């Protein structure tokens, strides 16, 4: 039976979207719920640097991303002299402070939280347009997409079947000395401050913590976005603006039920792994419910992406991409239809649809076409229109040096993916280097760079730092023996 505190903690090894290795978060049965699907339920401040990198890439990639912002108008200042947090370009970026050894030191640019101290996700244009699905996928509905919200009267009391935003507190049938929450989200989604690797927060903290509707400078939204208006204020109808019946009835992880491992069948899963796996799950929201899970209307369960085998792929090369996650295949309630995924890649408003050559409930494999052009793609798993959360795939030229030939202090480097010549702002970081000493660039094109330096020499290692990363090669001195 459901207990209010963690009765039995289980230890699971999982690679979730936030890259956590070993997690000791949750309990089956909930509360609190597992953290197998979508975003780990913790407030923004509990995300670590590793989490930012898991979704956004390495420091090297991020340096390129940030320095590309120097092309903005007005041109931002490299130095932040404003005394306020450098979370926008208007203030200037790097804070300099007097260093004990004389001169100045630059505040650590690899610590995201030095600048992004509030959730940057919830000030985006997508969030402001109430397009929460853009990033969260069909785990939620969008407020203005016309999804079904019941108009019949709510009955959240004993004997009713409507869940409340929180739920009702009743005596625990299994242990009358204690109480449990039933018939609402907090029957299962409760805080667990001791969960590992991060605390699990309560629903109020998780939503208010996004900054949405909180009235902070630069923030978006109103209280009504989530709490509804008039007689519907603070009822489930407000929540249904994003948590509609159909999205709620399609959230499910593949439980270890032995009869149907490897696919999701509504009503035939172990309890506690989602919303429609088991009659017990139905009752978490519909406490007085006397129906059975088999009479539910589950269609395609929401696919959840946790990781990609590669975030960056080489331009013009065929590659196999493995997408890990869960809920990639499922049956409908009556077992008559199996929902299978495709993978969509969207860039500049154009969408390419790829059919996987291999699909399991937790892994999808596709061959990426060689014709993908350079750029950043929105990648989603899509089951007949039920979309996963957003992942990003970068297609970038592969930086490679073919030859590096020296002839009287002039080095000619041939290869591919060098990009166009670095603009003035980047000249310090991007170029041709021996150890950390930069050579003078004479010419630069995508496949050939000519540079000169007195320290060039046969057998030495030359490094070319390009927008798309570094490449190294050993210098061959023409007409001379390599020492």
Considering the rule CB under 6 A, would residue 393 count as an interface residue with ligand HEC? no
**Angstrom distance (rounded) from CA 206 to CA 186:** 13
Q: Determine the interface stretch with ligand HEC among 30-38, 257-265, 361-369, 444-452 (rule: CB under 6 A).
A: 30-38
- CA-wise closest residue to 136 among 358, 248, 304: 304
Among the listed residues 27, 93, 399, 430, the single contact to ligand HEC using CB under 6 A: 93
Smallest distance, ligand HEC to C-beta of residue 101, A: 22
Cis peptide before 31 (omega within 30 of 0): yes
Considering the rule CB under 6 A, would residue 33 count as an interface residue with ligand HEC? yes
CB 118 within 8 A of CB 87: yes
Residues 206-225 that bind ligand HEC (CB under 6 A): 206-208, 210, 212-214, 221, 223, 225
Let me know how long the chain is.
483
Considering the rule CB under 6 A, would residue 199 count as an interface residue with ligand HEC? no
Smallest distance, ligand HEC to C-beta of residue 323, A: 14
Burial class (CB in 10 A: 0-12, 13-18, 19+), 149: middle
Residues 177-196 that bind ligand HEC (CB under 6 A): 185, 187-189
Residue 393 to residues 174, 311, 323, 374, 401: CA-CA distances in angstroms?
49, 5, 11, 10, 24
- Count CB atoms within 10 A of the CB of residue 383: 22
For ligand HEC, the closer CB: 252 or 466:
252
Residue 474 to residues 291, 398, 415, 427, 463: CA-CA distances in angstroms?
73, 18, 13, 23, 9
Considering the rule CB under 6 A, would residue 55 count as an interface residue with ligand HEC? yes
Considering the rule CB under 6 A, would residue 319 count as an interface residue with ligand HEC? no
Residues 59-88 that bind ligand HEC (CB under 6 A): 62, 65-66, 69, 86-88
CB 245 within 8 A of CB 143: no
CB 418 within 8 A of CB 400: no
**Angstrom distance (rounded) from CA 448 to CA 419:** 10
Smallest distance, ligand HEC to C-beta of residue 461, A: 28
Residues 281-310 that bind ligand HEC (CB under 6 A): 281-282, 284-286, 291, 293, 295-296
Considering the rule CB under 6 A, would residue 162 count as an interface residue with ligand HEC? yes
Considering the rule CB under 6 A, would residue 150 count as an interface residue with ligand HEC? yes
Residues 110-139 that bind ligand HEC (CB under 6 A): 110-112, 114-116, 119-122, 124, 126-127, 130, 132, 134-136, 139
Considering the rule CB under 6 A, would residue 313 count as an interface residue with ligand HEC? no
Tokens of residue 203, six digits:
């629903």
Burial class (CB in 10 A: 0-12, 13-18, 19+), 20: buried
Site string for ligand HEC, 326-365 (x = CB under 6 A): ----------------------------------------
Residue nearest to ligand HEC (CB): 284
Considering the rule CB under 6 A, would residue 382 count as an interface residue with ligand HEC? no
**Angstrom distance (rounded) from CA 76 to CA 86:** 11
Smallest distance, ligand HEC to C-beta of residue 444, A: 24
Among the listed residues 32, 41, 380, 431, the single contact to ligand HEC using CB under 6 A: 41
């Amino acid at each position: 039976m459901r207990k209010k505190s963690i009765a039995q903690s289980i230890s699971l090894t999982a690679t979730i979207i936030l890259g956590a290795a070993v997690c000791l978060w949750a309990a089956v049965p909930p509360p609190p719920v597992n953290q197998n699907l979508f975003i780990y339920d913790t407030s923004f401040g509990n995300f670590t640097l590793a989490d930012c990198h898991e979704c956004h890439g390495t420091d090297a990639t991020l340096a390129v991303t940030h320095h590309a912002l120097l092309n903005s108008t007005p041109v931002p200042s490299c130095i932040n002299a404003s005394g306020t947090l450098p979370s926008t370009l208007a203030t200037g970026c790097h804070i300099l402070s007097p260093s004990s050894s004389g001169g100045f030191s630059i505040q650590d640019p690899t610590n995201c939280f030095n600048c992004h101290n509030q959730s940057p996700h919830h000030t985006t244009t997508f969030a402001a347009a109430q397009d929460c699905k853009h990033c969260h996928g069909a785990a939620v509905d969008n407020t203005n997409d016309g999804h079904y919200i019941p108009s019949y009267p709510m009955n959240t009391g004993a004997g009713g079947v409507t869940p409340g935003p929180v739920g009702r507190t009743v005596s625990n049938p299994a242990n009358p000395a204690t109480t449990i929450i039933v018939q609402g989200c907090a029957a299962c989604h409760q805080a667990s401050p001791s969960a590992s690797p991060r605390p699990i927060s309560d629903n109020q903290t998780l939503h208010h913590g996004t900054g949405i509707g909180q009235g902070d400078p630069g923030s978006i939204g109103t209280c009504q976005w989530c709490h509804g208006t008039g007689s519907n204020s603070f009822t489930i109808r407000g929540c249904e603006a994003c948590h509609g019946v159909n999205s709620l009835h399609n959230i499910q992880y593949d439980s270890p039920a032995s009869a149907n491992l490897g696919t999701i069948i509504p009503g035939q899963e172990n309890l506690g792994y989602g919303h429609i796996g088991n009659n017990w799950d139905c009752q978490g929201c519909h406490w007085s419910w006397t129906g059975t899970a088999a009479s539910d209307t589950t269609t395609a369960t929401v696919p959840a992406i946790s990781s990609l085998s590669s975030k960056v792929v080489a331009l013009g090369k065929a590659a196999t991409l493995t997408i890990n996650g869960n809920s990639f295949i499922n049956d409908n309630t009556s077992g008559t239809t199996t929902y299978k995924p495709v993978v969509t890649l969207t860039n500049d408003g154009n969408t390419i649809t790829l059919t996987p050559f291999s699909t399991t409930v937790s892994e999808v494999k596709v061959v990426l076409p060689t014709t993908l052009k350079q750029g950043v793609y929105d990648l989603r798993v899509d089951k007949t229109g039920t979309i996963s959360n957003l992942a990003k795939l970068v297609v970038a030229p592969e930086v490679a040096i073919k030859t590096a030939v020296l002839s009287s202090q002039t080095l000619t480097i041939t290869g591919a993916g060098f990009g166009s010549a670095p603009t003035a702002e980047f000249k310090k970081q991007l170029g041709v280097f021996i150890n950390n000493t930069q050579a003078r660039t004479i010419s630069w094109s995508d496949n050939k760079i000519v540079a000169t330096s007195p320290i060039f020499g046969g057998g030495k290692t030359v490094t070319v730092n390009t927008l798309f990363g570094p490449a190294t090669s050993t210098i061959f001195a023409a007409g001379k023996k390599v020492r």
